[in-house]
Structure 1
Amino acid sequence: MSAEHYAEEQQNEIDILQSIYPTEFVQESTDPCRFSLTIAVDDVDDIRPCTLQLTVEYTPTYPDELPVFEVALADEGNDAPLTDIDAELADADIDYLTQKTRETGEESLGMAMVFAMASSLKEVAIERLLKKTADLKRIKDQRIQKEIEAEQAKFIGTPVTRESFMEWKARFEAEMVDVARLAAEAEERQGARRAAAAAAGSLAAGAKKDSRLTGRQLFEQDKSLAMSDSRFITDGDVSVDASLFAKKEEEIQPSDHE
């Protein structure tokens, strides 16, 4: 095929592309022939809209060989806030789309292939976004389900089995034994305190009783008592020897043999 024929084939495809993509086709240069197509992915429910750009440069022998091309995300994107189920295309996705677009071109060698490459690019992008969106929805549903189960678990007690009941019963009985022992020890300590208090009271009462002396004992122990009345003695009064009374009292005490 001559160079003129290749050029004619290429111009015919450009005319067709301009009619299919009147606003999306942008001629960047004529020598070499280079142009771009803006591919909007915004007509599918359940996915976040995005825009791709396919840039193509014809080789001298196109369409008998693949054109030089590039797939990229366009600058005009979706400015709406992302939700937790909004999927976006990442670098790995662009690499995947590029490979699939190349495979489509290789299947169309020998004839105009840009339209087929652009159509394949949009379809694969939609499939990729649908799959990623479904994955995000599944992850969200799993998270919600776990949250629901965790909330319900707060109101569900542990199932009782014979083994768990016997374990609880053994622990409860051991606790009751400890409680009874502690109560007995406390009662014993309290009784000891009461006994000690009673003994201390008896000793104090005895000490108080023993500390009270008779008038005679006071008189004998404190000689000043005998002298305290000396100022009342007048002429003619006779002093008394107390020891004489003591001897006299001993003489009149009855003997044990009487």
Structure 2
Amino acid sequence: MDIATIIGIIVGLGFVVMGITADGDIAGFLQLSSMLIVFGGTFSATLVAYPLQQVLDTIKIVSKAFSNNKVDPGSIIKSIIELANVARKEGLLALEEAAEGINEDFLQKGVMLIVDGTDPELVRNLLETELAFIEERHQGGQGLLEMMGALAPAFGMVGTLIGLINLLRDLDDPASIGPNMSVALLTTFYGALMANLIFIPLANKLKLRSREEILRKEIMVEGLLSIQAGENPRIIEEKLKAFLPPKLRQSEEEESRESEEA
């Protein structure tokens, strides 16, 4: 569970509520008609823009923004180095047995391609094609959330127009000015709040998760091709560490030195 996402939403709503209650009453900001316009309009327009199945799939993808099941790139590098050592000592065919203990489907698929004697260029093309489609699927979910982030304020403006139209229509009735103006402003408030606290931040979090996953798989591709080329495991390790940020790379090097000393 990614606590940061949950804390961010809860704290954000909390500060908004505190800001409201500091000088007013929260009950005045709860209006069913404004909620229906913004939430209903945003959801309906999303269904118009995207197929139903993609909307349902995105709901599953959004759960990744709340999960913290990240795979450490360092552990992937260690797995690849273990495979490289097996290939160097026992040959590429021995990787078939070693691949059975791999939990990562993408890495396992690449190993089996190598074992089958697939041409290195074809191995790269197959893995990079799958990588491209994974990234495209991720972008679909991100795009849907970004669209919802754009639609919510737009329907807030629709509610504002509705409120202003009713206000001008009943201008001769002073008692109706307050409620109509309330609808006009609250719909804009709901739209801006939903877009900037939920939809757009979640889309950004999914982009971050996608970049992390793509990086891990790029490490796998490079490592597998290096194994197939028969490179030295130490050279492969140094090559793959280049994918890591300096801080993480330094941590991996310290762990490697400690294990060698042990």
TM over 0.5: no
Q: Compare relative contact order (CA 8 Å, sep 6+) and give the higher one, 1 or 2.
A: 2
Category of TM-score, reference length = shorter chain: under 0.3
TM-score, scaled to structure 2: 0.21
Larger Rg: 1
| Larger relative helix fraction | 2
